[in-house]
Amino acid sequence: MDTLKEDLKKQIIEQLNLEEITPADIADDVLLFNDSGLGLDSIDALELIVLLEKYHGIQVTNPDEGKEAFKSIDTMAEYIRKRKS
């Protein structure tokens, strides 16, 4: 199991107050901002930027950069690893 991805799911659920969703409900490749996926919106995108700084020490200064990185759990994990390496 990829612990970074599992941690991300827990952090997202907490940061976005996703009541009634558990980490197991979020597949690694599900589209976070698509209505068929988690259906997140632009306020959530800002909350995810806060999450990256709070838990992973990564600063995103341009919200547009976040858009690409926040497609799915997979892309978020990849983005974090790239920024940290």
Partner 1 sequence: MFYISAASTISHQPTFQNAGFSGMIVPLAAESILISPDYKRFIEAGLLRRMSKILRMSVACSKDCLEQAGVEQPDAIVVGTGLGCLQDTEKFLNHSITIEGLLPPTSFIQSTHNTMAGQISLSIGNHGYNMTHTQNSLSFEHALQDAMLLLTEGENDILAGAADEYIEILTEISCHLNVYPRSPLTSAASFFLLSSKEKSGTLAQIKDVATFGLVNSIPDTILALLAENETNADALDLVLFAGNISNDLTIAGVDPDKSLDYKNLSGIYPTASAFALHYAVDRMQQDKSIRNVLICNALIKSNLGLTLLQAIEA
Partner 2 sequence: MGVRITGIGIVSAIGLTVEENLNALNESRTGIGQVAFLDAGRDLLVGEVKVSNTDLKNTLSVGAGNISRTSLLGLKAAREAWGQNKHSEKIRTGIISATSVGGMDRTEVFYKDYLAQSDPNFRLLKTHDSGSTTERIAAELGISGYINTLSTACSSSANAIMLGARLLLQGRLDRVLVGGSDALTKFTIDGFHSLMIYDDQWCRPFDESRSGLNLGEGAAFLLLESEKSIEFSGNRTICHVSGWANAADAYHQTASSPEGTGATLAIKNAIKKSGKSLNEISYVNAHGTGTKNNDLSESVALKNVFGDYVPPFSSTKAFTGHTLAAAGAIEAVFSVLSIQNQLIYSNLNFKDVIFETGLVPVTDLKKGQSVHTVLSNSFGFGGNNSSLVFTDHL
Question: Applying CB under 8 A, which residues contact partner 1?
Answer: 15-20, 39, 43, 46-47, 49-50, 53-54, 59
Does 27 bind partner 2 (CB under 8 A)? Our answer is no
User: Residue 19: which of partner 1, partner 2, none does it interact with, CB under 5 to 8 A by kind?
Assistant: partner 1
| Beta carbon of residue 57, minimum distance to partner 1 (angstroms, whole number) | 10
Does 42 bind partner 2 (CB under 8 A)? Our answer is yes
Residue 71 is given by DSSP the state S
